[in-house]
């Protein structure tokens, strides 16, 4: 049972890392540090979008951007941490 909890916790940590990486890269694109016309940058942005869009799209229907800021990544991170805490509480 402990191994399953560790694997679930690791999966949540990896997904949170992907979300944070996407947010940082989006900021770098906005501030024109990363050139979006670069093929490698396009591939990275596409890969990150494929990893996060299935979770973001349903939430974006209910959470509009506030002042131009997309709060969806923050809500997903909070939800994942809440889910991990509930799993630990249920299985321990």
Say if residue 46's pLDDT is above 90.
yes
> pLDDT tens for residues 6-45?
898 999 999 999 999 999 999 999 999 999 999 999 999 9
Q: pTM for this structure?
A: 0.90
DSSP 1-65: -HHHHHHHHHHHHHHHHHHHHHHHHHHHHHTTSS-TTSHHHHHHHHHHHHHHHHHHHHHHTTS--
């Amino acid at each position: 049972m402990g191994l399953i909890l560790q694997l679930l916790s690791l999966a949540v940590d990896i997904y949170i890392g992907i979300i944070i990486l996407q947010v940082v890269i989006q900021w770098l694109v906005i501030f024109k540090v990363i050139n979006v016309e670069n093929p490698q940058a396009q591939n990275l942005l596409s890969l990150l979008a494929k990893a996060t869009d299935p979770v973001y799209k349903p939430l974006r229907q209910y959470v509009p951007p506030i002042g131009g800021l997309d709060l969806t990544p923050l809500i997903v991170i909070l939800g994942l941490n809440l889910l991990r805490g509930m799993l630990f509480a249920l299985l321990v």
